[in-house]
Amino acid sequence: MKKVTVLTCSLALNLISMGNAAEPYKPNLGPDLPTITLQSGDLTVLMRQATQWTPGRIDFRGNAMTTERSAYGTVFMYPEIGFIGTGHFENEPEELQSLTFLRDGKEVEAPSSEISGKTITVIRESKIRSFRFKNRIELRDNRLFETVTVKTETETPLKLVYHFMHAWTPTVSAYLAGNDGEAPEGEPLIDDVERGFHINKPVHWAAVFEPVSKQFAVSRVLEIPEGVKTTSKIWNVPGTYRKYYLESFNGESVPAGFEGTWRMVTAFGEAENSEWEPKAKALAEKLKEE
């Protein structure tokens, strides 16, 4: 990742923080509520109005696995303008087209601040310039399923696209990542280092360990568009987050007429520090069935 990209993203997040503190952004669609908490089993996801009803925090068994100080969802980076997408309003907001909440398959017509059920689904459609896309998140069986489908009729040069950003809490102490049939790789994520990216290659799954709660999370890529290189990254920003990104179209143009879907599932578990890696690998293998 080029240094200018890192600095631009950092500046963008600072602007988001300052802007939201002064006057939170309100999208044109959705209930007039600052947040909505979705709960299914032991999994809780906080949705924020200020980021156009994208995830704002992920909790498992009452423990925050991610921080609220970040943007989630999908973001595009244009060579001539910078970031446009979830939580990034420093250039222009994405245009929300539709928003639907469902509880156990039935639409919630008047969402309240808390929605719980066996299966909770949020479907949002929006546009960013020539792109039309649909984001779907679903909580069920203590798993978080995320799907994004992107369409465009116009060829568009980009610096990158990020999907499924997970801003893991800065107390996360290590990661593990790998491809099926290969030995995984991993290392500690520590604070006394400069900001840096880890993994930086296509992998089938990536896991992180949070030692305070003794919990871990495993994210498995279930689907990517044919012919599109998709790279996993973890950005270690000490004191802020250990943030996961699924990156595509790095320095490439999205061709005219493109339509593609990315899909990911994230699941959680508990383990002591000495046991989390084999348990994470076993869960990663199990998630192949999803």
- 92: left (phi > 0), else alpha (psi -120 to 50), else beta? beta
Amino acid at 163: H
pTM for this entry: 0.90
pLDDT in tens, 281-290: 999 999 999 8
pLDDT in tens, 203-257: 999 999 999 999 999 999 999 999 999 999 999 999 999 999 999 999 999 999 9
Task: Round to whole Å and give the CA distance between 284 and 217.
Answer: 10
- State yes or no: pLDDT of 3 exceeds 80: no
Average pLDDT over residues 29-39: 95
Residues 6+ apart with CB under 8 A from 134: 123, 124, 125, 147, 148, 149
pLDDT in tens, 266-285: 999 999 999 999 999 999 99
Strand partners, 232: 201, 246
Q: Which CATH number fits domain 3-289: 1.20.120, 2.70.98, 1.10.287, 1.10.3470?
A: 2.70.98
pLDDT in tens, 116-169: 999 999 999 999 999 999 999 999 999 999 999 999 999 999 999 999 999 999
